[in-house]
Structures are given as C-alpha cells and as structure tokens.
A and B are shown apart, each in its own frame.
Chain A
Amino acid sequence: MPERARKIRVSCVVNGEAASFEAYPMARLLDVLREELKLTGTKEGCGEGECGACSIEMDGALVNSCLVPALQAQGAKIRTIEGLAIGGSLHAVQQAFISHGGAQCGICTPGMILAAVNLLARYPQPEGTQIREGLSGNLCRCTGYMKIFESVLAAVRQGETRA
C-alpha cells in the first residue's frame, strides 16, 4: 500500500462560526463540509467542477467546493446554504425560489441560490443577461432556468439583496 499521508487539522469559519476538522490535505472541501461538519446542504452533481451543485462562498467568492482541497480552507471564511437564512428567516432569494418555482427537484438549488446571492452582491440590479451569465456555471436539468430567473428578479424587486 502507498504510504499514508497524515491527516491535517484545519481551522476556518463556516457560516459565521469557528469550525475545526481533520482531513487528508487533498480531501475535497465538499466532502469535509458534508462528512466532518455534517453540512449536507452542499451537493455533489459531477465531481468535475461543471455543474455547480457544490457551489459555496469562500472569502466572499463563489467557488466549486469539489475543486478545493481541504488544506486550502485553512483560515477561510466559508458560507454554505445552511448559513443563508438568519434565525428562521429565509433570505429573499430563498423565499422567491419557493414562491416563483425556482426549485423543482432541489438538488441544484443550494448551489444555484448561493450563486444568485453572490451575483446580487456584485450586481444588485442585474439585467437579464447578467443573471443568465452569472448563473451559467450552475446547471439545472429540471427547470429550463426560466423560473430561476424569475425567482432572482422577484428577489431583486423585493429590494432585499443582503449579501
């Protein structure tokens, strides 16, 4: 058997709280979030950085967590879908996805919502093309994207685009 690398200890902030875990240095951040921190809201759809179901925010930037090695999460500030609602209060984008049909089977939804929230943080009043482009790294097989766009626009109209 090949020599076993040691697991490392990583400390970071996840959804506003200090988090600490042990993992192989090149374990995927996706797996660490799901298995060590029990945050199963972030999903695996492809394992190759194509579908965006594993999207999270890392130091404010949208990234595919299936492509981030655990070691590089050291000291990072991470937000997953579980960190979006505050108290029991849904973010406007989450609320809009429910009322405007943005979620069907729901597997792309956590990544899609984070991508939308991240987009609105950068472009609070996005045009149609900006929404389409901003979400082009998140694949949805169910909706044809129409109601996802409508949900994002509904959230914008609500005026609430807290990051």
Chain B
Amino acid sequence: METRVIGKSVARKEGREKVTGRARYVDDLSFPGMLHGVTVRSPAARGRIRAIHFEGEIPWHEFTIVTARDIPGKNCIALLIEDQPCLAAEFVNHSEEAIVLLAHHDKYLLEEARRAVRIEIEPLPAIFSIEDSLARKEIIWGQDNIFKSFHVEKGDVDGACTGAAFVVEGTYETGAQEQLYIEPQGMIAQVSEAEGVTVWGSLQCPHYVHKALMILFGLPRERIRVVQTETGGGFGGKEEYPSMIAAHAALLARKSGQPVKIIYDRAEDMVATTKRHPSRTRHRTAVDLDGKLLAMDIDFTVDGGAYETLSPVVLSRGTIHAAGPYACPNVRIRSRAVATNAPPHGAFRGFGAPQSVFALERHLDRVAEAVGIAPDELRRRNFIREGQMLAVGQVVKEKVDMNGLMRRAFELSGFHVKRKQFAAENADGRGAVKKGIGFASFLHGAGFTGSGEEYLASEVAMEAIADGTVHILAGSTEMGQGTNTIFAQIAAEAMRLDCEQIKIVQPDTAYVPNSGPTVASRTAMIVGKLVETAGLGLLKLLTDGGFLQPGYTAADFSRACGEYVAKHGPLKSFVKYEHPRDLHWDDQKYSGDAYGAYAWAVYVAEVSVDMRTAEVLVNDFVAVQEVGKVINPVLAAGQIEGGVAQGIGFALYENVVWQEGRMVNAQMTNYVMPTSVDLPAIRVYFEEVPYGRGPAGAKGIGELPLDGTAPAIANAIAHATGVDVRRIPITAESLLEMLEPVHA
C-alpha cells in the first residue's frame, strides 16, 4: 500500500522546542505566589505511627502542614482498588511511605523543616522477600499476602511429563529495576473555589490522575483538571505514581490557598517511587527425543510491594507471555503477585513480560542442551505458526514467520559462524577474554489484555478550524516516544494533508477525551487507529456536505473548513473504540484472544567476558522484529535502540541494593545505567506484515525490546563461559563467583 507520509521519518513535532531549551517541563513553570512542597516519609518498613514531632528552631507557623486528617474525600490513591493511602494515618507498610506534607515559599528552609519532623513509629515485623511472603511469615496484606493469582491450564501437563524423553527444571529470578527517566517526578497544583483542583505535571495518564483526585477530594468530574506538561521520560514510571504526587501537591494547595510545586530530587524519586516487579519463575518442561515441546509447567511470582497498585495487570501480562511464541499442547501456568513491605512496585516498559520471557528464553537454551541439539534448532522445531494456538488459547490468525526472523537475525549477526568460532577460541583456555553469542525469540502483545480495550472504551476527538488547521484531541501523551509526530502523520495520511497542518492539543482533561493510558504499546495501534478514523470522519462531514470534492488539495481543504464553519459552526468528529467482534476473551478461565496483535522478534547479543574481572561488555546487538507497519523509521528505530539499552541495563548494570525494604543505592553514582561508552552499536531491522486493525497496518512496539534483550545476553554469557545464568542483573560480583573456585 503506497503511503505519502506514513513510513517517512517526519521530523519530531516538538523537536525545535526540545533542542532550543524552550520545551516547558513542570519544573520550568512558576506561578505567582507559588509555594514549594516536600514530603516527610516513614523511616520504618512497617509499624504503627505513635507520634509526629515538629522539632528544631523552625518557624512552624509559617508552614502549611498536611496530614491524613486534611483529606476531604477518601484517603486513598485510587487505581484498580483503593488500598493505598495517600498519606499514612495509623500504620505504615513500607519505608518512605508518605506521612506529612509541608509547604513554604522558601525551598531551602523547607528542607531544614523536613529534617526537623520526627516520626515516632512502633515497629512491626516486616517481610521483604517472595519466599517470606508466600510462607506467610507475616500477613501484611489481605488474608494471605496475595494481590492476585492466575491459573491457566491447557491439556494434560502431568500426563505429558510422565514418560517424556527429557524433563528439565529450573528456577529463574529478576531483580527490581528503576525507570530512571532523566526528569524526576513533579507536579504543580492549584485549588480554588472557582476552578476546583488543577494539576500540571510530568505524567503519562492524565485520566488516571483525574480519577484519583476525584476520589481523594470527593469532587465531581468537572471540578478536577489535569494538564500534562512536557514529560522527560516515563517508561511506565509515570503511569500510576503521578496520582500520588499530584494528590500531595493538591492537598497542600488546598490548605495553603496558594499554588504548590513538588519536585522530587533524584534520591527521593529513587527511594519512594515505583520500580519493576522483582520476579521468580519456575519451569518444568517436557520434550520428546527430538526436542518437541510436550508440556510446559510454569510457576510465576512477582513481588508487588506493599499495596496492590497495578500488580494484577503486571501479573496478567507476565502470565500470558510466560510460554512464548511456541506451540505446546499441554501448558499450565500458575502465577501470583505477592505483598512485601517494599514501596509498591509498578509499571515499567514490558510490564511483567521481561520477567517471564527472561526465564523462558534462558530455560529453553538449557532444554536444548539437555536434549543435545542447538538452541536455535529447539526453537525452530517449536515455533508457533498461523492457525496454531498460543498457551492461553489464542489461535494465531496473523502471518507469523519466526523462522524467517531468526534466519535474518542470524545472518546479520553472524550467529552460526561466531557460535563455532567463539567456542573454539574459548576452549583454548588461556585467553583473558571469552566471547559468546546468544539469542532470544519472543513476542509481545500490543494493547490491553483481553477485554481491557473494551473496558477502556477509548475516545479521540478532532476539530478543524476555519483556516484548515486540524486539532487532534486525545488523552495520549508524548514522552519522547513520538506520539505527537505519529498522530500527525496518521491524520495527515488519512486526510491527504501535510503534517504541518495537524496540531496535537496538549493533554488537558478539560479539553481532551479519555483515550486510555499511554502504556501497553497501545498508542500507535489502538489510539492511532482512532485518530485515523476521526480524520476520515471529519473528511466525511466535508464531502457529505458538498464542501470538498475528490482530488482536493490542501488549499481546497482549508477553504472547505472555512466554509463549513461559517455555515454550520464547529467542525468536529468524535470516535470511540469498538472492540473487534471476532476477539473473544474469557476472564474466568483466563483464556482466549489475549491481544489483537503481536509483534514478533528475534534478538542476538554478542558479548565478551573479561575472565579476570568478570566484566561483561556487549559488543554487538542485532534486533529483528516484525511490527506490522513502521510509521516513522527514525522514531521506530529510536524506540528499539532505547529499549535495548534499557534491557542491557536490566541484564548487566542496574542493581537495586535493598536493606530492610529500602533502596540504599539511591544515587545515580551508585545505581548505574549504561553511558555512551558502555553500549554497542544497536542494529535494528524491521519487517512488516500489516495488521488490518492498526493505522496503516501498524502494531505496537514500545515494550517489545525489553522482553528479549536480557535473555539474549544471558544466553551469550552462558555460551562464552559455560556459566548457567539464572538471575539478572548479572553483576560482575555474582559472575566472578560462578567463574572461580572460592578462596578461603
């Protein structure tokens, strides 16, 4: 299908503002009379608040002080449920839990005051591990510490395991990972009788914040307004947490009568906000003599921290992705999200899938080894094909060619040659550096799971004004991934206009409809399709009314808009998501059509391991993926490159050091992400099998790279050193222990 604008690397819509320093992030804004706000947090992981002391030589009468008692509505940050308090009242359940809020115009005095608040807590026994939570060492949430569990079953797993030629078991673990957006979290709030509650800030989901504030303040919809400012990275870390910081700023604004700005510094952002859920996966896999999968028995657990937040959904995605792009007749997945006394874990690009895919792809290399065939041969014999059924019962109705992707990825990376060559060189034994090459094959479902998109019922509006400028009104946010630009491209393509003529309205709940959250790799595929439809709808108003003839030019379009508006008033179209009728999902059995479309991928990592220091360097990385349609090549490649970089961090560098449920390495000096010299050339290749329901055939791609990067690296390290990697991050310290005998 020939396209004019789609498929071109149209320059970033807000690029000029970003390269000149004129883009306005929340901390760049200042309001008259604005106060600064800070949060006083729990020093203990679990306990009862006995007293709050305001000490020091602080002029406390100058301060606005807010505690749970000041909350007009319900003391909760509403999300899936309402278990998480906005401010701890009687009990604390994680360290750094917010208890007191302070505001003052002098931000330096404010920090002094923060130090002078002493919270007296009577400690209660706390738990910090998945094992302790499952063992119910303490019950810290609900009846049994379990936020959510799933049981997916297909066929007869136990029967298939009996008498199988090989049964391979393994346990795999992943650690917490900090999103580390370079712009820390921040909000400005203003509360007035006239306007109600308004917040401006760094966020991904304005309507999530809107809903949370409605319940916190006990106010109706039209009395809450949420505006997204230019957002310096999110990656999921600004999906749910902004509701908390918005609530805090708004409570201070309400009590003080002034606008209040809260900006976290890096240390506070790291200790107090969400991280990727740590996980533990157990595999038991039965294969026949040829390595054909007979049964997969998977046990998957994620650590959700102290409150539920989004853990059930993270668990859901991790569960559905746990068995990968393979055809297996008998599958059992038992999974659960458990509570510990850590700050709640939350959304981070991949959202449960990076955890379960790491386990699967590492495990299958071990299964291949047990069978005595090459790891790629094992995959080849089991890749799913069109017409076959994935683990949760979704029949694959799209063209999928995993073998083709694998072939291409191997060609580009020199996989087979290097596999042999490195093995030979490493066997020499004397080299200080051993090299390895490994891969991962995987899929990622785009959009909300199952009936999720139907439940979201996303909406997009479009308005053309008299001069022919088209405004897109959507709740989807730009945070660097390119939302503004691809929406403009999609609309321009559908309406045969230039991108310059399309404007994206700043997400502001007073003006834009709820297009659902900017998460789950859904923005291009789901919301982009709504943009396309809205554009066609707007055109139809003009053509039906005789204002526009076929073969029109951009100038014709502008003239037509002017005439329409003069005659009829506002020229608007409005679209609401309709769930495809042929997608069926059973929430009870947790099976059926989980996603409208999947992106498919094979990633190859080449590493060198310095045997003296156990340092691992990724020397080359090839990422091949089938994504439906590439809307903007530069933006799409940018998504994969950036995602792979985060995946390399997940695999090798990013280690959260916990002490009593608190992150102790909460500085960029000590929580380490890759710099420009730590990363290889990341080579990205796309294939396109258009998805009928995506705009111009596009599927979602944002999270895909987080799934396959870490296991490809782990498999490469195993190839290089023979070490049986079971855990990420693979720190030099842990790798050295596995490489050398222990000295006394």
Chain A interface residues toward B at CB < 8 A: 1, 34, 39-48, 50-51, 53, 80-82, 84-85, 90, 94-95, 97-110, 113, 131-133, 135-149
Query: A105 near B19 (CB under 8 angstroms)?
Result: no
Known contacts A34-B27, A140-B676, then 19 further A-B pairs from the complex at CB < 8 Å, ordered by chain A residue = A1-B57, A34-B28, A39-B21, A40-B24, A40-B28, A43-B27, A45-B668, A46-B668, A48-B266, A50-B668, A53-B182, A90-B19, A97-B18, A106-B232, A132-B676, A138-B676, A142-B642, A143-B642, A146-B637
Residues A144 and B480 in contact, CB atoms below 8 Å apart? no
Interface flag for B25 (CB, 8 Å): yes
Q: Is B700 an interface residue (CB 8 A)?
A: no
Chain B 677-697, CB within 8 Å of chain A: the 1/0 string? 101011000000000000000
User: Nearest 4 pairs between A and B by C-beta?
Assistant: A41-B21, A105-B480, A107-B232, A106-B18
Contact with A along B1-19 (1 / 0, CB 8 A): 0000000010110111111
Are B182 and A140 closer than 8 Å at their CB atoms? yes
Known: A50-B668, A82-B21. A136 touches B676 (CB 8 A): yes
- Tell me which residues across on chain B come within 8 A of A149, comparing CB atoms: 676
Cα distance A97–B20 in the bound complex, in angstroms: 11
Q: Out of A84, A106, A109, A144, which one reaches B679, CB within 8 Å?
A: A144
Asked if A144 contacts B677 (CB within 8 A), the reply is no
Known: A104-B481, A107-B182. A99 touches B266 (CB 8 A): no
Indicate if the CB atoms of B183 and A85 lie closer than 8 Å: no
* Contact code string B175-211 (vs A, CB < 8 Å = 1, else 0): 0000111111000000000000000000000000000
A102 CA to B643 CA, complexed, in Å: 15
A151 to chain B, nearest CB (A): 9
- In angstroms, Cα B181 to Cα A53, docked, is 12
CB distance from B21 to the nearest CB of A (A): 2
Please give, as numbers and ranges, the residues of chain B lying within 8 Å of A84 by CB-CB distance: 20
Q: Which of B416-458 contact A (CB under 8 A)?
A: none
Beta-carbon contacts under 8 Å, B372-402 to A: none
A145 near B182: Cβ-Cβ < 8 Å: no
**A residues within 8 A CB of B235?**
141
Q: Which residue of the partner chain B has the closest CB to A96?
A: B19
A103, closest chain B residue (CB): B18
Known A40-B21, A42-B21, A51-B668; contact A100-B15, beta-carbon cutoff 8 A: no
Q: Is there contact, CB below 8 Å, between A107 and B638?
A: no
Chain A residues with Cβ under 8 A from B15's Cβ? 97-98, 103
A161 to B9, CA, bound (A): 24
**Can you list 12 A-B pairs, Cβ within 8 angstroms, ordered by A?**
A41-B21, A81-B21, A85-B20, A103-B18, A103-B480, A105-B182, A105-B233, A106-B17, A107-B182, A140-B182, A143-B638, A144-B643
Residue from the list A53, A109, A139 in contact with B673, Cβ < 8 A: A139
Residues of A within 8 A of B480 (CB): 103-106, 142
A104 with B642: CB separation less than 8 A: yes
Q: Which residues of A contact B9 (CB under 8 A)?
A: 101
Q: Are A106 and B14 in contact (CB under 8 A)?
A: yes
CB distance from B506 to the nearest CB of A (A): 15
Question: Which of B25, B180, B183, B676 is close to A145, meaning CB atoms less than 8 Å apart?
Answer: B676
B interface, CB within 8 angstroms of A = 9, 11-12, 14-25, 27-28, 57-59, 179-184, 230-235, 265-267, 479-482, 634-635, 637-638, 641-646, 667-669, 673, 675-677, 679, 681-682
In the assembly, what is the distance between CA of A144 and CA of B681, in Å?
A: 9
Q: Are B682 and A144 in contact (CB under 8 A)?
A: yes
Q: What are the residues of chain A within 8 A of B20 when measuring CB–CB?
A: 41, 81-82, 84-85, 90, 94
Instruction: State how many angstroms separate the Cβ of A8 from the closest Cβ of chain B.
Output: 16
Contact indicator B676/A45 (Cβ below 8 Å): no
Nearest chain A residue, comparing its CB with the CB of B705? A144
Point out the residues of chain B lying under 8 angstroms from A98, CB to CB: 11-12, 15-16, 19
Taking CB atoms, residues of chain A closer than 8 Å to B267 are 47
With the chains together, A104 CA to B28 CA distance in Å? 18
- Determine if A45 and B481 form an interchain contact, defined as CB atoms under 8 angstroms apart: no
Interface of B is mostly: loop
Q: Is the CB of A107 within 8 A of B183?
A: yes
Closest chain-A Cβ to B337's Cβ sits at a distance in Å of 26
CB < 8 Å: which of B27, B58, B179, B682 contacts A146?
A: B682
Q: How far is the CA of A39 from the CA of B28 in the complex (A)?
A: 9
Q: Is the CB of A45 within 8 A of B645?
A: no
Residue of B nearest to A133 (CB): B677
**Set of chain A residues within 8 Å of B57, measured between Cβ atoms:** 1
Q: A98-B16, A98-B19 are contacts. A47–B641 as well, Cβ < 8 Å?
A: no
Complex Cα–Cα for A42 and B679 (A): 26
Contact partner of A94 among B19, B58, B667, B669, CB < 8 A? B19
Is A105 a contact of B479 with CB atoms below 8 Å?
yes
CB distance from A81 to the nearest CB of B (A): 4
Task: Tell me the complex Cα distance, A131–B676, Å.
Answer: 9
**Which of A94, A100, A104 has most chain B Cβ within 10 Å?**
A104
**Please, how many angstroms separate the alpha-carbon atoms of A58 and B694 in the complex?**
50
CA distance A82 to B59 in the complex (A): 39
Q: In angstroms, how far is the closest chain A Cβ from the Cβ of B30?
A: 8
Contacts of A133 in B (CB 8 A): 676-677
| Most A CB within 10 A of own CB, among B230, B266, B667, B679 | B266
Contact A51 B677 (CB under 8 A): no
Q: How far is the CA of A81 from the CA of B23 in the complex (A)?
A: 12
Interchain nearest-CB distance for B254 vs A (Å)? 25
Tell me the smallest distance from the CB of A96 to a CB of chain B, in Å: 9
A101 and B15 CA atoms in complex are apart in Å by 9
B269 CB to nearest chain A CB (Å):
10
- Do residues B25 and A107 form an inter-chain contact, with CB atoms below 8 A? yes
Does A146 contact B681, Cβ atoms closer than 8 Å? yes
Within the assembled complex, what's the spacing in Å between the Cα atoms of A139 and B677? 11
A47 with B676: CB separation less than 8 A: no
Name the B residues within 8 Å of A85 (CB-CB): 20
Contacts of A106 in B (CB 8 A): 14, 17-19, 23, 230, 232, 480
In the complex, what's the smallest C-beta–C-beta distance from B111 to chain A, in angstroms? 12
Tell which of A41, A98, A141, A143 has the most Cβ of chain B within 10 Å. Answer: A141
Cα of A145 to Cα of B641 in the assembled complex, Å? 8
- Name the one of A39, A42, A135, A141 contacting B182, with C-beta atoms under 8 angstroms: A141
Q: Which residues of A contact B643 (CB under 8 A)?
A: 144
Across-interface contacts of B675 in A (CB, < 8 A): 136-137, 139
Using Cβ atoms and an 8 Å threshold, which residues of chain B touch A105?
181-183, 231-234, 479-480
Of A80, A81, A109, A131, most buried by chain B (CB within 10 Å of CB) is: A109
Q: Hey, which chain B residues are within 8 Å of A131, CB to CB?
A: 676
* B residues in contact with A90, CB < 8 Å: 16, 19-20
Q: Which residues of B contact A47 (CB under 8 A)?
A: 265-267
- Looking across the interface, which residue of chain A has its beta carbon closest to that of B24? A40
B483 → chain A closest CB, angstroms: 11
CB pair B676 A135 closer than 8 Å: yes
Give complex CA distance A94, B480 in Å: 16
Question: With A and B bound together, what is the CA distance between A80 and B638 in angstroms?
Answer: 26
* Least CB distance, B499 to chain A, in whole angstroms: 13
* Min distance, Cβ B404 to any Cβ of chain A, angstroms: 25
A40 to B230, CA, bound (A): 13
Chain B residue at minimal CB-CB distance from A85:
B20
Q: Report the nearest A residue to B675, measured CB to CB.
A: A136
Cα A42 to Cα B22 in complex, Å, equals 10
A101 to B637, CA, bound (A): 9
Interchain nearest-CB distance for B354 vs A (Å): 16
Task: Report how far A55 CA is from B230 CA in the complex, Å.
Answer: 20
A88 to chain B, nearest CB (A): 10
Chain A residues whose CB sits within 8 angstroms of the CB of B11 once the complex forms: 98-99
In whole angstroms, what is the CA distance A53 to B667 when docked? 15
Q: Write out the residue numbers on chain B whose beta carbons fall within 8 Å of the beta carbon of A141.
A: 179-182, 233, 235, 642, 645-646, 673
Known contacts A40-B28, A132-B676, A46 near B266 by CB under 8 Å: yes
Residues from chain A with a CB closer than 8 A to the CB of B265 are 44, 47
Contact (Cβ within 8 A) A109 B18? yes
Q: B12 touching A44 by the CB < 8 A rule?
A: no
